[in-house]
Amino acid sequence: MAIVAGIDSSTGRTRIVACDSGTGAVLRSGKAPHPVPDDPDARPGEADPQIWLHSLGDAAAGGLLEGVRAIGVSAQQHGMIGLDAGGVLVRPAILWNDPRSSGAAAALLDALGGPAAWTAAIGAVPAPSYTVAKLRWLAEFEPANARRIAEVLLPHDWLVWQLLGHPKRRTTDRGDASGTGYWSPISGEYRQDLVKLALGHELRLPHVLDPAEPAGHTPEGLLISAGTGDNMAAALGLGLGPGDAVVSLGSAGTIFAVHERAVVDATGLVSSFADATGRHLPMVATLNAAQVLRSTAALLGCDLEGLSDLALQSSPGAYGLVLLPYLDGERTPALPHAAGTLTGMRAESMAPRHLARAAVEGMLCNSADALDVLRAQGIEVKRVFLLGATGRLPAVRQIAPQLFGVPVVVPPPGAHAARGAARQAAWALAGTPEPPRWELPEAVTVTPDAEQDLPIGSGVRQQYRAAREQIHPETAG
């Protein structure tokens, strides 16, 4: 038995798991928060990359990596670490969640000719989180720093480079590269013309490794795999394959599926990312997910568990009560200026249990609409993995299979991205054509009954669709 490890460096913490390379069983695990910057003026959307190394060391304390033969690295996507010609950090890293580049993203959208031009180029419309938008912001607001930058790394690229002892060759993988806005999953090549459009000059960019290709070995001889972005690592950790989709219910929603080819959606609703296996992860996003339930629970004076209990006391369709959950506008469907709407209010429907049910159904119908956007691109969805604490609520687990129309897998809480990074390390260590088969222990699968659940789900979605199209007729069709 070989032991492999996966590191996941997120926005706020580092998680590490050490796994059996053959079965994926987690043998040891650790986590540590990123140190709080000493500078009181530090921006929340910026970081000194050195804190990620300090956090990694804290998470690995106590011999966690003892006996490990290979390590994989997952990290937050889209960040920008600018280095000068000598490999020296020019300024603090700008993270994916820094909001300053919203105007830069809009300017880039127009500069290339709109959504259709961008999706034809890179399979996506550049969002403010994308690295290319950060480059455009830098060129406008920090031109001296922009001129100094000679190369750009993503967070996982930088961590791999550090673990390897600063080799001359910088590397990345196709999954993380596909979130930059200047690497195309369609062609599999960098678009230096888009780098120049954003920054004003071309950059030295990291070599894109094949999925099972090692990045190298540490000075101590430890194999380091290619690494990848956190969504791609999570897909690998969950063992997703063609026909599998993920609905991740954070405050906002992330919905993606495994597909064999890049998707070009001229509307820009679908972002075509690459995955960590050689396939693709077309993705859509909703602005409203778990926050819909939290806001409704606060209105009803209960917690999420209480909301779930109330929802299960109601019946499908919530006595005609429909909540269109666009509390902060919506991205999918494209309703940026919308607000939430509660319709179907009658004397018999005005009860807490029905409002709780309408909130759960509204959130899940919105996610089901997003899944349909993927299906409309020819992406097969045979099974849905439901992620996030909200997905483990009994009401959500019961109602989701009815509305999604396919079996729903609810994995146990865990460090899925770190486990995916470890699985990639095991793959690179083995040198096999496909990654090792790792089972997902303790996952619960809920399969809808074709004679009972599917007609119920169809009726609820029809009621929701009628309300949506009446309030927002631009979504019809």
Q: Which residues are bridge partners to 15 per DSSP?
A: 8, 31
Q: Is the dihedral of CA 397, 249, 244, 228 positive or negative?
A: negative
Question: What percentage of the chain exceeds 90 in pLDDT?
Answer: 92
Cα separation, 318 vs 261, in Å, equals: 40
Predicted confidence (pLDDT) per residue in 229-252, tens digit: 999 999 999 999 999 999 999 989
Task: Work out the mean pLDDT of the chain and round it to a whole number.
Answer: 95
CB atoms under 10 Å from CB of 193, counted, come to 12
**pLDDT given at position 130:** 95
Q: Is 94 helix (H, G, I), strand (E, B) or coil?
A: strand
Region 21-29: what's the mean pLDDT?
95
Nearest to 205 by CA among 232, 233, 180: 180
Predicted confidence (pLDDT) per residue in 306-333, tens digit: 999 999 999 999 999 999 999 989 999 9
**pLDDT given at position 44:** 75
pLDDT tier at 441 (50, 70, 90 boundaries)?
confident
pLDDT tier at 40 (50, 70, 90 boundaries)?
low
280 pLDDT higher than 70 = yes
pLDDT tier at 67 (50, 70, 90 boundaries)?
very high
* Four-point Cα dihedral 146, 176, 27, 397, nearest 10: 120
Region 277-303: what's the mean pLDDT?
96
Q: Is the dihedral of CA 160, 162, 163, 164 positive or negative?
A: positive
pLDDT tier at 50 (50, 70, 90 boundaries)?
very high
For residue 230, indicate whether it is catalytic: yes
171 pLDDT higher than 70 = yes
**pLDDT given at position 251:** 87
43 pLDDT higher than 90 = no
Region 329-342: what's the mean pLDDT?
94
**pLDDT given at position 175:** 97
Cα separation, 441 vs 376, in Å, equals: 32
Measured distance between the N- and C-terminal CA atoms of the chain, rounded to whole angstroms: 55
* Four-point Cα dihedral 369, 319, 291, 446, nearest 10: -60
108 pLDDT higher than 80 = yes
- Name the catalytic one among 8, 230, 265, 369: 230
155 pLDDT higher than 80 = yes
Q: What are the start-end ranges of the E strands in 222-321? A: 223-224, 228-229, 244-249, 253-257, 271-274, 280-286
**pLDDT given at position 414:** 84
Three-state SS letters, 162-200: HHCCCCCCCEEEHHHHCCCCCEECCCCEECHHHHHHHHC
Is 0.85 topped by the overall pTM? yes
**pLDDT given at position 99:** 87
